[in-house]
Amino acid sequence: MWEECVTAADLSLFWNVTSALLKARSTVVYEANSLLMQAMMDAHLCDALANVLRRIALLPPL
């Protein structure tokens, strides 16, 4: 339920965590570790990241 907790107060925290996870998803990591890629896909981590970014985009301007 990570993506359901996105609020304007925690925006920087979610942005930092999401950015780090997106960097971890780079193709270099996938090429080096296909098991990691499959585990991330099986855990629906990509869906969670997309939902967090969507919720961040929908937050009202600060």
pLDDT in tens, 15-24: 777 677 666 5
Residue 44 lies in a domain: yes
- CA–CA dist 11, 55 (Å, integer): 10
The domain total for the chain is: 1
pLDDT at 30 (0 to 100):
63
Domain hosting 53: range is 10-58
**pLDDT confidence band for 4 (50 / 70 / 90):** low
Positive/negative CA dihedral, 20, 22, 26, 32: positive
Residue 49 lies in a domain: yes
Does residue 8 contact residue 60 with C-beta atoms inside 8 Å?
Answer: yes
Does residue 52 contact residue 58 with C-beta atoms inside 8 Å?
Answer: no
Residue 52 lies in a domain: yes
pLDDT at 55 (0 to 100):
80
Residue 31 lies in a domain: yes
Q: What is the largest CA-CA distance in the chain?
A: 40
pLDDT in tens, 20-61: 766 655 556 667 778 877 887 888 887 887 887 788 788 787
Placement of tokens 């359901």 in the chain? 4
Residue 18 lies in a domain: yes
